[in-house]
Amino acid sequence: MQIDPNDLTSDELYKLMIGSVVPRPICWASTLSRDGIANLAPFSFFTVVSRKPPMVSLTIQPRSDRVQLKDTLINARETGEFVVNIVSLAQADRMHLTSVEYLPEEDEFDITGLGKTPSVDVRPPRVSGAPIAMECKVHSITPMGDVGDNVLVGRVVRFHFRDDMWLPGGRVNTAALQPVGRLAAEYTLADAVFTCPMPADVLAAYASRPWRRIDGRDVGWSPLTEKSWSAAGNVKLAE
């Protein structure tokens, strides 16, 4: 199968990209508006872009109307600050709820019942209980592509690690993190590790093995077929 991207719409391309670039880490970004209203939203187009100074990036597309900018981008642009909170399984449900397109004057922390922990060097709060958080100052915002995407790059000015996340020698206790990532329109839990080379019998066992679901749904089910799915990366609340 060969596909020419010029033959596809932006929504069709989005499905191919999110189904191919997997698993993706999730940036659970907290910001403040100029009026001091907190916003919290997840983004899976997220990665590290520099080691020293430490810098991260997230790509933010417009809202579902394809015109309005998302609150995260507006707030980061106007205040120059944001916080990256890392998502663990314990907070996955509430992280998912923060992907709903709420009004700018609504506070996702209050809506989802998440606590706010004050940051040190920036004004946006951290998510209480998040295993890792990174306070960031905006380095740059770069428009990308033809449909309104923007790449937000932030310089990490302070790290926060929950006590059980920190190991001697400056290592992160990833075994205790239970990090949640993004597949296509679903999530995945990173709870299996290996080193190479892999034993041949293990490779053979996994060759035709489907993934295991931990949410009770059928293996063949996909959110992409549901009305609640949005190509803007947002959840639609049931009517």
Higher pLDDT, 57 or 238: 57
Q: Tokens in use for 117? A: 């922990």
In the chain, domain spans: 5-225
Amino acid residing at 34: R
Provide long-range contacts, Cβ within 8 A and 24+ apart, for 106-111: 106/37, 107/37, 107/38, 107/39, 108/38, 108/39, 108/40, 108/41, 109/30, 109/38, 109/40, 110/38
Tens-digit pLDDT profile for residues 42-82 = 999 999 999 999 999 999 999 988 899 999 999 999 999 99
Beta bridge partners of 143: 150
Name the least confident of 113-122, 140-149, 167-176, 224-233: 224-233
Tens-digit pLDDT profile for residues 139-185 = 999 999 999 999 999 999 999 999 999 999 999 999 999 999 999 88
The CATH H-level superfamily of 5-225 is Electron Transport, Fmn-binding Protein; Chain A (2.30.110.10)
pTM listed for this prediction: 0.93
Q: How confident is the model at residue 84 (pLDDT cuts 50, 70, 90)?
A: very high
**CB environment 10-44: b (16+ within 10 A), e (fewer):** eeebbbeebeeeebbbbbbbbbbbeeebbbbbbbb
pLDDT at 57: 98
d(CA 226, CA 81): 35
Q: Is 130 left (phi over 0), alpha (psi -120 to 50) or beta?
A: beta
* 8 Å CB contact between 211 and 183: no
